[in-house]
Structure 1
Amino acid sequence: MANSKYEYVKAFEQPDVLLPNTWIVVRIDGRGFHKLTDRYAFKKPNDRRALDLMNAAAVEVMKDLPDLCIAYGVSDEYSFVFHPSCQLFERRNAKLVTTIVSTFTAHYIYQWGTHFPETPLESPYLPSFDGRAVVYPTARNLRDYMSWRQVDCHINNLYNTTFWTMVLQGGMSNTDAEQELKGTVSSDKNEILFKRFGINYNNEEEVYKKGSVLYRQVNSSLAGCNYQLEDAKAGSLESKAAADEESSSPMPDSKMSRSQQDKLKKLRRKAQVVVDHVDIIKDEFWERRPWILSGKPGTLPADA
């Protein structure tokens, strides 16, 4: 950039580098999605087309940004997680957030017609998202964050399923349904669904009850890339996490040799992005996929 008398304005820029060796979570949320869902007649309480669209956009974000190790989505929000070793954009807050938000929004709009072919987008009812970045110092903090979002998914979905069943099948007004559900607990809502409408909430689709979790998994055909893969046979999650957090720090990609970086990036880009609707609160998910927290490429054992 050529020097000029106006270059002094650069001094007004403030540094926004996120804390090193921490997990970075960028969470995006739909802006004004109540109006959007009404305009395009989203089905209540859940519209599978809308969730599939969210997941499709999130998959493309994961493909575009191989530094991401896991993501979790529910309704009109998605959380994208960078490993502590990530050095993308020198860990600058604004760059990470705006890249995630803009990339997600672009793919969401681009793929809209695939999922909603009968209702093309119209101005001013266009989807947009906002975002924020939060850092977490330990793997346990990250897991608690992910658990918080999945618990929120369950609570909100059970309420919405009961509410809209009472309205759409029970003929109640929105106000009356809301008033009856005030102060109820999960067992009360399950009882309303089963006794009044014959609905067993446990039989609802997992994507509605548990949300969507995205992660990378190396296909067996890529195992010959001369890079050590990590699988569920490598040891228990708790012992590995303790060792990682208490006795050593993750190795930033920038500290690796050029050949190591190239092999790692190649595996990350070629790894399959898996979309699951599973429990991420219990240990089983993480124990079977230790590479998510370790930051190493990994695959499930052939016998899994």
Structure 2
Amino acid sequence: MANSQYEVVKQFERENYLLQDTHIVIRVDGRGFHRFTKNYDFSKPNDERALKLMNKAAHCVMESIPDTVLAYGDSDEYSFLLRKDTDLFERREAKLVSTFVSSFTSYYIFYWNDYFVDKKLNLDDGLPTFDGRAVLYPNIKRIRQYFSWRQVDCHINNLYNTTFWTLVIKGGLTPQDAENKLMGTFAKDKNEILFSEFGINYNNEPEIFKKGTVIVRESNEVENVSDALNRTSLEEQNTGAVDAPLSLRQKERRAKKRRKMKIQEHHADIIGDTFWHERSYLFE
């Protein structure tokens, strides 16, 4: 369409380039999943198959987009952290969000039959769809606060849902009666209901339910990976390229190191310091 009378329409296109030197988080969230999970009869309060399918889709996204260094997910959402200096799609917001959402959705649908052998996707019951957004954070402190917030939200929602569905399934209450009983209760109250009325110790619930899943690029020898990246950084400093754009060779060397890192899943505490201190290379 170049040099044609119709090329004028391109003037209406606008790109939003995300700010340089900031951490990008892309959050993918299930759209209309309350109805979707009901139509496909997901187990309550947690369907482990569905969570593992989400993890599989997120794992595949990380494999296909090497600039993703970490992802955290629970329920029907996943947050992906890109390296701070990524220039993927020239940091165009629309391209980043649409690529993550479409890739995640594609993998979710592709692997559905591996986890839901007896429940085929069909148009009548609806197909899984996701939306997404990009959020920028200025420093490591805010990044840690973000992922802590998501894990706290996972814990709060899971404790409520575990208690709610236990009252309905094992206690014989209607959903409305269960909701009324839990209204105004605190965490200790829910724990007491589970233990005193049903003999359930919430602390013994699977970690994947309580903590969600964090997927991270790492090695069995994490310190060696961090040291290698540090050496690359020192080499760049010695060449005076600290504040200058990386050369093609430097980018290739960093990308090669990232590709060597294993992508592993954990159901770990990401609110405390230990997880982050052991993986300081994520921010280098």
TM-score, normalised to structure 2's length? Answer: 0.91
Would you say 1:265 and 2:251 are equivalent positions? Answer: no
Superposed CA offset, 1:251-278 (max 9, x none): 69x9223222112222323421111100
Equivalent in the alignment of 1:241: none
User: Does the residue aligned with 1:4 lie in a helix, a strand or coil?
Assistant: coil
Amino acid in the other structure paired with 1:187: K
Q: How far apart are the structure 2 equivalents of 1:271 and 1:63? A: 11
Q: 8 Å contact 2:15–2:94 — kept in the other structure? A: no
Equivalent in the alignment of 1:197: 198
Q: How far has the Cα of 1:293 moved from its partner?
A: 1.9
User: Does the residue aligned with 1:51 lie in a helix, a strand or coil?
Assistant: helix
Q: How far apart are the structure 2 equivalents of 1:141 and 1:218? A: 25
Equivalent in the alignment of 1:165: 166
Would you say 1:275 and 2:283 are equivalent positions? Answer: no
Equivalent in the alignment of 1:237: none
Q: How far has the Cα of 1:292 moved from its partner?
A: 1.4
Q: 8 Å contact 2:84–2:283 — kept in the other structure? A: no
Amino acid in the other structure paired with 1:286: W
Equivalent in the alignment of 1:117: 117
Runs (4+) off by over 3 Å? none
Q: How far has the Cα of 1:5 moved from its partner?
A: 1.2
Give me the CA root mean square deviation. Answer: 1.9
Q: 8 Å contact 2:45–2:165 — kept in the other structure? A: yes
User: Does the residue aligned with 1:229 lie in a helix, a strand or coil?
Assistant: helix
Q: 8 Å contact 1:70–1:215 — kept in the other structure? A: yes
Superposed CA offset, 1:269-301 (max 9, x none): 34211111000000111011111122xxxxxxx
Question: Aligned pairs, how many?
Answer: 271
Q: 8 Å contact 1:26–1:80 — kept in the other structure? A: yes
- Most deviating of 118-127 and 259-268: 259-268
Equivalent in the alignment of 1:239: none
Q: How far has the Cα of 1:219 moved from its partner?
A: 5.2
> Matches of residues 122-137 of structure 1 in structure 2 within 5 Å?
122-124=122-124, 125-137=126-138
- Show structure 1 runs of 5+ residues with no match: 235-249, 295-304
- Show structure 2 runs of 5+ residues with no match: 231-240
User: Does the residue aligned with 2:28 lie in a helix, a strand or coil?
Assistant: strand
User: Does the residue aligned with 2:72 lie in a helix, a strand or coil?
Assistant: strand
Q: 8 Å contact 1:218–1:267 — kept in the other structure? A: no
Q: 8 Å contact 1:69–1:82 — kept in the other structure? A: yes
Q: How far apart are the structure 1 equivalents of 2:4 and 2:140? A: 47
Q: 8 Å contact 1:85–1:251 — kept in the other structure? A: no
Equivalent in the alignment of 1:65: 65
Equivalent in the alignment of 1:298: none
Would you say 1:256 and 2:246 are equivalent positions? Answer: yes
Q: How far has the Cα of 1:15 moved from its partner?
A: 2.4
Q: How far apart are the structure 2 equivalents of 1:72 and 1:3? A: 46
Q: How far apart are the structure 1 equivalents of 2:267 and 2:245? A: 35
Q: 8 Å contact 1:22–1:136 — kept in the other structure? A: yes
Q: How far apart are the structure 2 equivalents of 1:212 and 1:292? A: 17
Superposed CA offset, 1:38-85 (max 9, x none): 111100000000000000000000000000111110100000111220
Q: Percent identity?
A: 54
